Amino acid sequence: MPKTWTAFTKLPAKDPAEALGEAMEELEPAPSGIGVFEIEDGSGTWEVGGYFTEAPDDIELALLAAAFGAQDFVVSEVPDQDWVDKVRRELTPVEAGRFFVYGSHDADKIPEGAEPLLIEAAMAFGTGHHGTTLGCLRALDRLATGGFTGRNVADIGCGTAVLAMGAARIWPDPVMASDIDEVAVEVAEANVRANGLEGKVSCVEAAGFDNPELAARAPFDLVFANILKQPLIDLAPHMAAHLQPGGYAILSGILTRQADEVVEVYARNGINQIHREEIGDWVTLTLQNGGA
């Protein structure tokens, strides 16, 4: 099996992180993949990393880090093993209320009467193993158990679309799923097909609610937004505009110490907390629009 190297660094802001990610494309040897993402700890720190099939040049990396004000790159050789197989072995199925999130290798373990959601191991984040996704599925199950039926549901920042698919599994009306990232939309569409939900989940590329299809479907009676604290805060007035009176919002991607601030901002927009669940360091909020 060919060898792989990784090179990761951290920066204190988004713009230099994205600029560094673009600059890494010019490295020799060139990375086979580059990732730029915010670390989910509320610190505002960004991580930039690359994957290489040849050992990267330490001097080039040091010069890049200095030029963009980044920490020194940490370079590691990845041990020879099939990482998807490793994740498959370690990623056990998750039960969240009536929902059973699993990989195809565990298809024989689906409990009788469960609502199955297939997400393959190669797409592990957003499967239900992370506390934020697990909390959202539990919140969905809680609403449904309480008698609520979603007739117009949106999943904003859908990632793998596991939440949209959960809603589509239990309710008859089509669900909208959106993500700002084009690749995430493609992953979501692949998952929808794998779960036999074509025609029941529509996936679109959008920043928040900014898409004609979402605008045409609003107002929604249930909106998922499993993203991060600041995007959730920025989304609050738009949520109020797109959520029907009495409609529900299930929010996550929030650390426990950030929850009160999010609740306060949404309350100022007429959307009030009715339930809070903590799973590890993460919080899932269920809120209801009190607007007339």
pLDDT for res 170: 97
pLDDT for res 278: 93
- Of the CA atoms within 13 Å of residue 40, those in its CB half-sphere come to 17
Which amino acid does the sequence have at 30? Answer: A
pLDDT for res 286: 98
- Of the CA atoms within 13 Å of residue 195, those in its CB half-sphere come to 30
pLDDT for res 129: 44
pLDDT for res 41: 65
Whole-angstrom Cα Rg for the chain: 20
List per-block mean pLDDT (blocks of 10 residues) for the chain, which spans 292 residues.
81 90 86 77 82 89 93 82 49 82 81 88 47 90 97 93 96 94 85 94 94 95 91 94 97 90 97 94 93 54
pLDDT for res 93: 79
Read off the tokens for 175: 């669900």
pTM reported for the whole predicted model: 0.71
pLDDT for res 80: 56
pLDDT for res 5: 86
pLDDT for res 87: 46
pLDDT for res 95: 86
pLDDT for res 40: 61
d(C-alpha 101, C-alpha 259), whole Å? 26
Q: Is 171 helix (H, G, I), strand (E, B) or coil?
A: coil
pLDDT for res 123: 47
d(C-alpha 221, C-alpha 214), whole Å? 13
